[in-house]
Amino acid sequence: MGHWTFLAVTVVITALAFDFTNGFHDTATAMAAPIATGALSPKMAVTISGVLNLVGAFLSTEVAKTISGGIVDDSLVTPTMIFAGLVGAITWNLLTWLVGLPSSSSHALFGGLIGAVLVGAGTGAVNFDTVVEKILVPAVASPVLAGVVALIATFLAYTITRRGREREVDRGFRLGQVASASLLSLAHGTNDAQKTMGVITLTLISVGVLKPGSGPPVWVIASAGLAIALGTYVGGWRIIRTMGKGLTDIRSPQGFAAGTSAATVILASSHLGFALSTTHVSSGGILGAGLGRRLAEVRWSIAGRMALAWVFTLPAAALVGGVSAAVAKQGTPGIIVICAVAIAIAVAAYALSRRNPVDAANVTTAETAPVLTAA
């Protein structure tokens, strides 16, 4: 039986740091629409979302098993490779958060891990069939599916309520939005927290603390759930603004349709072991809801920039993960260098964000263009 090492502890801490960035990066997936329509105040929205992300982390571990024993050969993976992959994912999360682009934290993690393993162990250590089947195909299909469902749901919502009083209809859908956004937050915790669980489990397997094929222990589930919940509570305001006001002008029936559609797709996929991007699914739902309302404006230029970021997420994170793995191969000095660079990037991203701050007080303004132009 293996034992804990300093590097293993460092990797676990880095994985939880990624989970925290995942939380504030992806808060918009659930709460952008209800904040935009006024169904929930910004602070109340992130509080509810944080609590439900924590609860959701305990509902399933199928996605965690996909990561810990699916996309890479766990017998060939070392803690150094996992550390490098996490650095790639965190770097991409911070850069896209800075410019307000709702890219996929999930694909950043997959890309970083794949790049690091390719450099560290070669192509034979990556299960490309699993990558295609459970990551790439769902990445293309899930936002389309969520968009179609949301489009139909929006059309039906307006059709069924067209004779109702506008104020009463709006009030009813706002209450529905609270329920659908809460369900989506639960789904986010169920799907995304598991990815960090999978990475930590993979680390424990690689040092022999757990047997190959093991699922995540309870303490891993709890710590991953808490990290993503705290990150969610912090609130990724820059991305919330883009999704809530940038793609289309969301009204309460659309917000309800988008949230319900996205939650349904994500929860179904979690129990099948498909590691979906909640960002992709939620964005697809919002676009579908925009198309489902007659005369609604969909800002395709912003949607195009988002899609471009999605395309580059895997290779960009893989590149950073691969370079980090090459440097980390040099031993402790290399790992120290990577840590120093990662911390510098985080500090720089935060400092730059203060030049154009977005917070709970101004998140519902429509100033999305300057942020996205920076991309």
pLDDT at 354 over 60: yes
Distance in angstroms (rounded) separating the CA atoms of residues 244 and 29: 10
Highest mean pLDDT among 110-124, 235-249, 260-274: 110-124
Token readout for 327 is 């440097």
pLDDT digits (tens, 9 = 90+) for 170-206: 888 888 888 888 887 887 787 777 778 888 887 888 7
pLDDT at 210 over 90: no
Amino acid letter, residue 66: T
Q: What is the mean pLDDT of residues 207-222?
A: 83
Q: What is the mean pLDDT of residues 316-329?
A: 94
pLDDT at 148 over 50: yes
Distance in angstroms (rounded) separating the CA atoms of residues 18 and 375: 22
pLDDT at 367 over 60: no
**pTM listed for this prediction:** 0.82
**What is the distance of C-alpha 94 from the center of its chain?**
12
**Alpha helices (H) along the chain:** 6-37, 42-56, 62-69, 79-98, 105-121, 128-131, 137-160, 166-206, 218-234, 237-241, 252-270, 278-292, 300-328, 332-353, 368-373
pLDDT at 91 over 90: yes
Distance in angstroms (rounded) separating the CA atoms of residues 314 and 115: 9
- pLDDT category at 375 given cuts 50, 70, 90 is very low
Q: What is the mean pLDDT of residues 60-89?
A: 76
For Cα atoms 5, 14, 356, give the angle at the middle one, nearest 5 degrees. Answer: 160
